Structure 1
Amino acid sequence: MTGVLEGFAALAALIALGAVLAHVGFLSYASQTMLVRLAFWVASPALLLTVVADADVRAVFSANLVATGGAVAGALVLYLALSRVVARRPAPETVVGALCSMYVNAGNLGLPVAAYVLGDAALVAPVILLQLVLLQPLALAVLDRTTVGGGTGVRTLALRTVRNPLMLGALLGLVLALTGLQLPSVVRAPVDLLGGMAVPAMLLAYGVSLRLGPRPGAGSPARELVLVVGLKLLVQPALAYLIGLAVGLQDTALYAVAVLAALPTAQNVFVLASRYDRGVVLARDAIFLSTIGSVPVILAITALLT
């Protein structure tokens, strides 16, 4: 349980620092834009490369992935169905809302939770790979397609998606993981340093947004915010648990898929929303509320399943 609290404390500290620096005038909207660009184009691709390269790809072909993927698919279907009733949104905003409902903070929070609470950092690998190799490219493809002018062909869209820096980082990391190749230390060292900037840059930019933007909850439709946070914190872990039971997961494995599904919405969603300037406030508010709400949810899951 200490690992969960420590992970959330680290997140909160950097977010608060970003807000304080914005409050005293040291950081501005321009600073936030710079941090988001740095995270999107440089630091996050380096981080994704190393995380995926070091993951055990064999974990992808496991019952854990079935439970995780089923929970993600269930949350997505429910969001697409219910969002039409709650609030009809353009396609780019719908993509951001869907990501808020199902894309978990598997990197900077999932890794410490898996390592310190679940006892095995490799347990988060299926979540990371599913999101980076499937969910993120699909979301980027739709965002690219719906935020540019008409007439974009399939070939142009495919090239734009493949050239996306986040996609390139994930793909290169997957190639390294599948082949067993390792980057030379002279290359790996600077890549690790660049990747180390990703999480702080995202969290500081998020803190600036909290201080200079509308107060949390004030800029998003309340019903849509309740929908995405409810799907993220309640429906997704419940589906992961039920599907895990159905495919034969037990004990620690079943507990792991439920806890990892209850992680809050990832900071990457805010970075993507900011990059495409679609659903930024919804992403910010969903991350804020789901991060706070995930603490009691994970504690409740721990009390029930251990």
Structure 2
Amino acid sequence: MGSAGVLLGAVAPVALMVATGYLAVRVLHLERGPLVRLTLYVLVPFLVFDQLWRNQAELGGAVRLAAAFALASAGFALLGCLAGRVFSLPQPARVSLTATTAFPNTGNMGLSVAFFALGEAGLERATIIFVVATILLFSFGPALFKGGSLKEQLKMTLRLPLIWAVILGLLANAVNLKLPLNLGGGVHMLAQGAIPMLLLSLGMQIAESRFAVSAYDLAASLLRVLGGPLVAYLAGLALGLSGPDLVVLLLISGMPAAVNTYLMAAEFGGDAERTARVVVLSTLLSFVTLPLVLGLATRVAGAG
């Protein structure tokens, strides 16, 4: 298989599962809500716990990767904020642009593409980024859209099963936990269910969204899928990342806008309609841009 086939092979399985979720809504008229709740509150915490528990990444490298993504996220937010000011957008649209630029889809798309592109090594690194991104999203997302005290943001974060999965997973790894009666196998099987369910729910989200394209939607989507890797490259260089760490950082940073940005815009304020359109359009564009980002990242990092 040529290099183009390898790159497309990382995205094609993702596209298949997203398309299946889309058809499940259009043909079978299935409801997305229960699937999303099951995935976010049960399967994803199992995935995070399982990956952190089994993760063999060197601690210093994991911390450096997490720090690089946190630094890149600050750059994403700054990029979106500056773009909103340059184009004199109204406040709700400016907030939404900052959010869709700052928060990539590290869950539905990020974990899946990293796994199909780089296998378990990619998934391990993508999970580290996913944990950091989730903490940033639920810590700063509500404040970005609505404001609120640090205490309120902390209470919201601590209510998430994901946060406790992070804590328990790190503890299990530190003490080299061994579960009896092959319960670890059960945990791993539940964890494996998260990726297809994430992608099915994303396809269902697209099926339920109205699709329209304006100049704002296209610009905001391109800012996310193309501006993100550029900012991440600078952050990665600043912290000395190379090899698979840099590849995964750039790949995840080229993901479309996180679906949760729409949920937060609808719940806390911002331009929810524009946010939804950017989530959908950036997702569709990413099926074209991600193979390019992956190819360039592999060359730049020398990990091909």
- TM interval, shorter chain, is 0.7 to 0.9
Preserved CA contact (<8 Å) 1:39 1:201: yes
Task: Kindly provide the CA deviation profile for residues 76-108 of structure 1, in whole angstroms up to 9, marking residues without a partner as x.
Answer: 221122234444327984674144458584311
Quote the Cα distance in structure 1 between the aligned partners of 2:185 and 2:151.
35
Deviation at 1:241, TM superposition (A): 3.5
Match of 2:92 among 89, 92, 96: 89
1:32 to 2:25 alignment: no
Query: Letter of the aligned partner of 2:74 in structure 1?
Result: A
Q: 1:259–1:200: structure 2 CA closer, same or farther, 3 Å change rule?
A: same
Q: Which residue matches 2:118?
A: 114
Preserved CA contact (<8 Å) 2:84 2:94: no
Deviation at 1:36, TM superposition (A): 1.3
More contact order relative to length (CA 8 Å, sep ≥ 6):
1
- Equivalenced residue count is 287
Secondary structure, counterpart of 1:14 in structure 2: helix
Q: Which residue matches 2:44?
A: 44
Deviation at 1:136, TM superposition (A): 1.4
Q: 1:92–1:61: structure 2 CA closer, same or farther, 3 Å change rule?
A: same
Preserved CA contact (<8 Å) 2:111 2:130: no
1:75 to 2:76 alignment: yes
Q: Which residue matches 2:225?
A: 233
Percentage identity across paired residues of the two chains? 21
Deviation at 1:129, TM superposition (A): 1.8
Q: Tell me the TM-score normalized by structure 1.
A: 0.75
Quote the Cα distance in structure 2 between the aligned partners of 1:193 and 1:13.
21
Quote the Cα distance in structure 1 between the aligned partners of 2:228 and 2:83.
15
Q: 1:189–1:240: structure 2 CA closer, same or farther, 3 Å change rule?
A: same
Task: Kindly provide the CA deviation profile for residues 141-199 of structure 1, in whole angstroms up to 9, marking residues without a partner as x.
Answer: 34456789x9x765454233112122222232222233332444543233333323322
Q: Which moved more, 1:32-41 or 1:122-131?
A: 122-131
Preserved CA contact (<8 Å) 1:265 1:291: no
Task: Kindly provide the CA deviation profile for residues 28-72 of structure 1, in whole angstroms up to 9, marking residues without a partner as x.
Answer: 4xx11122111111111111111222222512234x555544433
Q: How does 1:7-22 map to 2 (within 5 A)?
A: 7-22=10-25
Structure 1 gaps, min length 5 = 116-120
Q: 1:167–1:225: structure 2 CA closer, same or farther, 3 Å change rule?
A: farther
User: How large is the RMSD of aligned CA atoms in angstroms?
Assistant: 3.6
1:256 to 2:247 alignment: yes
Q: Which residue matches 1:165?
A: 161
Quote the Cα distance in structure 2 between the aligned partners of 1:276 and 1:171.
28
Match of 2:216 among 210, 215, 223: 223
Secondary structure, counterpart of 1:285 in structure 2: helix
Preserved CA contact (<8 Å) 2:250 2:297: yes
Task: Kindly provide the CA deviation profile for residues 220-257 of structure 1, in whole angstroms up to 9, marking residues without a partner as x.
Answer: 65325423x3333333323443454455556x458625
Q: Tell me the TM-score normalized by structure 2.
A: 0.75
Secondary structure, counterpart of 1:107 in structure 2: helix
Quote the Cα distance in structure 2 between the aligned partners of 1:90 and 1:232.
15
Q: 1:101–1:258: structure 2 CA closer, same or farther, 3 Å change rule?
A: closer
Task: Kindly provide the CA deviation profile for residues 259-293 of structure 1, in whole angstroms up to 9, marking residues without a partner as x.
Answer: 53554237xx2256448745444323322222332
Preserved CA contact (<8 Å) 2:19 2:203: yes
Quote the Cα distance in structure 1 between the aligned partners of 2:261 and 2:189.
22
Q: How does 1:93-172 map to 2 (within 5 A)?
A: 93=96, 96-101=99-104, 103=106, 105-115=109-119, 121-122=120-121, 125-132=124-131, 134-143=132-141, 154-172=150-168
